[in-house]
Amino acid sequence: MTSTEFTTANSAAAFVPAPATPYQGDIARYWNNEARPVNLRLGDVDGLYHHHYGIGEVDHAALGDPDDSEHEKKLITELHRLESAQADVLMDHLGPRGNDDMLVDAGCGRGGSMVMAHQRFGSRVEGVTLSAKQADFANQRAQELRIQDRVRARVCNMLDMPFETGQVAGSWNNESSMYVDLHDLFAEHSRILEVGGRYVTITGCWNPRYGQPSKWVSQINAHFECNIHSRREYLRAMADNRLVPQAVVDLTPATLPYWELRATSSLVTGIEEAFIESYKDGSFQYVLIAADRV
């Protein structure tokens, strides 16, 4: 694909395919209508708009005095720092990538991770989302950053991506795999990845050792209109689709400080308790899995 072709097709609104199922239509409407301050105000910090959560220890010195008039602004900046740190960890596991590589963000949201991936690797990055609103937002940011010839989002089904077989060097789902069947998802990533290509996911999953999804996990499903899978399902579906895990990292202890800090902010959405309590009782886990296409 030439840069001219890339730029010409840059408007997501140019073609919006019909959802493959009524459920996909529901998800598209959900994210087209979503405008939570917790996503937008954090992105306003530096122009990287994420749709995932954070990891790492809170820098309490950066927060300053809770009675300071600037405290809330500092708290939002810290939450955003933790979310960008999460994306950095995902990219650490993509391995060495370069200008000639093509990367795919499946469920790209407003494009923060795509921008970060291009800035780090110089690679061409394609994002896919069911939401035309998100794709247009991401493409507008790419234009503002003058990287629209290297970074693009478009509206399509991540189970049927518009890429040739073996075309992609690296791909990922960052908290987006709970909206699809895992076997279908990993079959599609396996198709588009070159042999030796790397796939990474960071996701919340229910812990098989707990027995069944807990009441907290059920609340999270209802809140986001998703279907959280178990850790076991991820590993089984990868094995069935020629994706061999190279790293499985439990990020649960690393994400809990983010949620505890977010629960003290003005940006609460009402779901914070479910995340905090499910992480603490062990029924829910925050996991990174990196796998190679064989």
Domain map of the chain by residue range? 12-293
3-state SS, residue 195: strand
Q: What is the pLDDT of residue 12?
A: 52
Cα of 253 vs its chain's centroid, Å: 19
Give the pTM.
0.93
Burial of 54 (0-12, 13-18, 19+ CB in 10 A): buried
Q: How far apart are CA 255 and CA 250, in angstroms?
A: 10
For 82-119, give the DSSP string. HHHHHHHHHHHTT-S--TT-EEEEET-TTSHHHHHHHH
Contact 52, 115 (CB under 8 A): no
Per-residue pLDDT tens listing for the chain (294 residues):
433 345 444 455 445 566 678 998 998 998 998 877 777 889 999 999 999 999 999 999 999 888 888 999 999 999 999 999 999 999 999 999 999 999 999 999 999 999 999 999 999 999 999 999 999 999 999 999 999 999 999 999 999 999 999 999 999 999 999 999 999 999 999 999 999 999 999 999 999 999 999 999 999 999 999 999 999 999 999 999 999 999 999 999 999 999 999 999 999 999 999 999 999 999 999 999 999 999
Residue type, 13: A
3-state SS, residue 150: coil
Q: What is the pLDDT of residue 1?
A: 40
Q: Which of 146, 151, 149 is nearest to 126 (CA)?
A: 151
3-state SS, residue 176: coil
With tokens 């977010």, the residue in question is 262
Q: Which CATH superfamily is domain 12-293 in?
A: Vaccinia Virus protein VP39 (3.40.50.150)
Query: How do residues 58-76 score in pLDDT, each as one tens digit?
Result: 999 999 888 888 999 999 9
The set of residues, in sequence order, having a beta carbon less than 8 Å from that of 201 and lying 6+ positions away, is 172, 173, 174, 177, 234, 288, 289
Q: What is the pLDDT of residue 7?
A: 44
Q: What is the pLDDT of residue 125?
A: 98
